[in-house]
Amino acid sequence: MLAQTIEALVKIGLVLGGVMTASAYLVLVERWIAAWVQDRLGPNRVGIPLTNIRLWGLGQPIADGVKLMLKGEAVPKHVDKPLYYLAPAVVFLGAILVFAVIPFGSVLPRGIFPESWQLHEPIELVIAPQLDVGMIYVLAVGGIAVYGVVLGGWGSNNKYSFFGAIRSAAQLISYEIPLGLGILGVVLATGSLRLDAIIAQQADSGWWNIVQQPLGFLVFTVAAFAEATRLPFDLPEAEQELVGGYHTEYSGIKLMLLLVSEFLHMIAAAFLMVVLFLGGWHIWGLTDGIDSPGGELVTWPVAVLRVVIMLAKVLAVILFFMIARWSWPRFRFDQLMQIAWRVMIPWGLANLGVVAIMIEYGDRIGAATGIDWRIWMALIGFATLIIVWAATVIADPSRTDNRPRRDLPVPSFLADEAN
């Protein structure tokens, strides 16, 4: 019992420290990427305090964190203080609790603890390995952020904050549906709600879900952008329109909690994309080990390599998130809602229907044609993606092709100047 308690505390400490440090330095990475995209200099001069050492801007996150923690608290008099103070804690709690069921690798070999502790089982690299409903837990905990954002907007008693909170509530609730549909397709194909089991299924078969369910991956990716409120889905903030959105009235440590929570949501979304669709820690040739109960123990090099592969994939997805921020303009709010209800939800249902049909009849189709049913599933998945994309483009009412031009009335003062 003592060993399990120590193991859990060590995991919690490593995960909490790791994701918080990653959030701080991913801000620096995003600034570097922004500078690269915009062809300008990014942070490159902040180094070790009280010295002349400049480490390519690596001291910037430390400087920002210390500044926010030591900054004087400015609490407007018009705010609803109980809700105002509660909101950052709720948002941060919802963001950090997701990592309890996200695996960071497969397992570590036994023998880390002393033999007197009689711990002979391998250590699973997840905080709560016994939770069999991991995906339901992720959806439930992720929904807590909606309450925090709404509390922040309402408690601030500011119209800009309120607009951001209402936008956020509509956006997050709407995109939870396509997000769930993307997850449901993977769960249906895997037959398990455990994230490690989803990785193991991809490792055992050698087929990543992005190949078998490309439409589901696209739906999940777009919904993940919206759930993380990343551009082009950052309507809850939209500083050009709302000053700062739901956190306009926040400063100091409370603002830091809100900003860190946004990056935690992005990191969690990247982990879920890797786990659900990109094979997790799997790379072909490294699938031996504890992928199922009763498997052989992995060696230390393989265990460490799996962690490195997992984190490398997550970092690649995060870089994609950051590059996308500087590649697409922000959607209008009506466009954002139309994408959710008129595009992503029908696409998610189409993907779910294809997966259900292939799970039911895939073996028969494969036996009749002599071709592996997974190949058929991949082909049908890509065909469905092309068909639904074409159907959406054709049925898009916002297209202006072949539409008669409507001459708008000219304002009187412009007409007078023209004359």
Question: With bands split at pLDDT 50, 70 and 90, how would you rate the model's confidence at 404?
Answer: low
- Residue 256 corresponds to which tokens in the numbers above? 């830091």
Highest mean pLDDT among 275-289, 344-358, 388-402: 344-358
- Strand 107-108 to 123-124 pairing: antiparallel
Cβ burial, residue 149 (10 Å; 0-12/13-18/19+)? buried
pLDDT digits (tens, 9 = 90+) for 202-220: 888 888 999 999 999 999 9
Lowest mean pLDDT among 277-286, 337-346, 353-362, 406-415: 406-415
| For residue 401, pLDDT beyond 60 | no
| For residue 232, pLDDT beyond 70 | yes
Question: With bands split at pLDDT 50, 70 and 90, how would you rate the model's confidence at 415?
Answer: low
How far are the Cα atoms of 156, 193, 200, 203, 284 from residue 206, in angstroms, in the given order? 51, 19, 10, 5, 7
Lowest mean pLDDT among 40-54, 338-352, 405-419: 405-419
Q: What does the pLDDT average to over 105-118?
A: 63
- Domain ranges in the chain are 1-70, 73-110+123-292+302-398
- Residue 339 corresponds to which tokens in the numbers above? 């994408």
Distance, first Cα to last Cα, the chain: 89
Lowest mean pLDDT among 102-111, 152-161, 217-226: 102-111
pLDDT confidence of residue 394: 80
Lowest mean pLDDT among 13-22, 117-126, 175-184: 117-126
Residue written as token pair 């699973």: 124
Q: What does the pLDDT average to over 272-298?
A: 70
| For residue 294, pLDDT beyond 90 | no
pLDDT confidence of residue 220: 95
pLDDT confidence of residue 277: 94
| For residue 116, pLDDT beyond 60 | no
